[in-house]
Amino acid sequence: MYVANAASNDISVIDTATNNVTATVKVGNLPYKITVAPDGKKVYAVNSGIPPDYQGTVSVIDTATNTITTTVNVEKNPHGIAVTPDGTKVYVVNSNSYPYYKGTVSVIDTATNNVTATVNVGSLPHGIAVSPNGTRAYVTVDIPGGCSGKGNIDSTSHTGTVSVIDTTKNEVIDRVSVGNYPYEVAVTPDGNEVYAVNYGSNTTSVIDTATNNVNTTVPVGRSPIAVGIGPVIKSSSTIGLGGTSFLKPVNQTENQANDTEMTANGGTAGKQKRESVTTQASIPFLSSTWVLVAVLGAVAFVRKMN
């Protein structure tokens, strides 16, 4: 497991068998996100950069030696990063938020570690996900609508889109309107749906990839910041929670959120109840594939996939 530490500008390497840190790799300024090559041989860490230039870089780490083999310059304030399923390309989302708000995506050829294309996606992009077949990349893009009197971003006045990139041409072929201030994005294993969490509107937009239309919008908890899709295994999956929290599974046929109980000490998961939990809680049920949306200090909802 690889963990980015923004405060110390390094990556912690954790042995999952012992849960011990076995190595620390120094990277660039403000490492923000990490992605791993499909073959597990490389780790790509995106470094957001610091004032005054906010120059972004990608550190390429050899997992056999836990050393940096090269550093790739991208644009300003990169945040999101994703690798294609065949491992040939890495996509890096550059917010370029200082001073022009002209977001781009840098395309890196992993054979040469060179940027081979730059895609204009608009405004303030943040998250990115690549489809399982590698033909599409989905980028969340925030469209600023105003700031508070103190100069802070007012997320509720923002709107958002998901830019759809054709990875063969490296061009934006569609833009899907979603909620306010979309943050992160994920694609289902079958490639049929895209989930975009909207920080400003406290919702998750579910996009049909065949039509690039939003099929449904699911209310979740306050300020969702992450989404993930994967298997959840009884009692072996533990999620750190910041106090009171609950799960909201989505009814697959009606796309409605239903509260689900989660107890702290290996308890049960049952519908129509909210439960306060401590800082660590296990998910006590078996499943195939679930969608998890994380809100600030909590897990907002779970949807079981077919």
Neighbours of 179 (CB within 10 A): 22
55 and 48 in contact (C-beta within 8 Å)? no
Alpha helices in the chain (DSSP H): none
How high is the pLDDT of residue 256?
Answer: 44
Q: Would you state the pLDDT for residue 289?
A: 56
3-state SS, residue 202: coil
Number of CB atoms found within 10 A of residue 303's CB? 23
- Preceding omega of 52 cis (within 30 degrees of 0): yes
Residue 292 is predicted with a pLDDT of 60
Q: How many CB atoms lie within 10 A of CB 92?
A: 27
Domains, the chain, ordered by start: 2-224 (2.130.10.10), 225-306 (no CATH)
Query: In DSSP terms, which residues pair with 271 in a beta bridge?
Result: 260
- The HSE-up count of residue 55 (CA atoms within 13 Å, CB side) is 7
pLDDT tens per residue across span 37-87: 999 999 999 999 998 889 999 999 999 999 999 999 999 999 999 999 999
Among 283, 263, 259, 285, smallest CA distance to 273 is for 259
Residue 168 to residues 25, 36, 99, 173, 243, Cα–Cα distance (Å): 33, 21, 30, 11, 45
* Segments in the chain below pLDDT 70: 97-100, 145-157, 230-306
Half-sphere CA count of 235, side-chain side, radius 13 A:
4
What is the amino acid identity at position 112? T
pLDDT confidence of residue 271: 31
State both tokens at 170. Answer: 């490296």
3-class DSSP assignment, residue 260: strand
Q: What is the pLDDT of residue 156?
A: 55
The pLDDT tens digits of the residues spanning 132-151 come to 999 999 999 998 765 433 44
Angle formed at CA 156 by CA 150 and CA 161, multiple of 5 degrees: 120
Tokens for 25, please give them.
């790799």
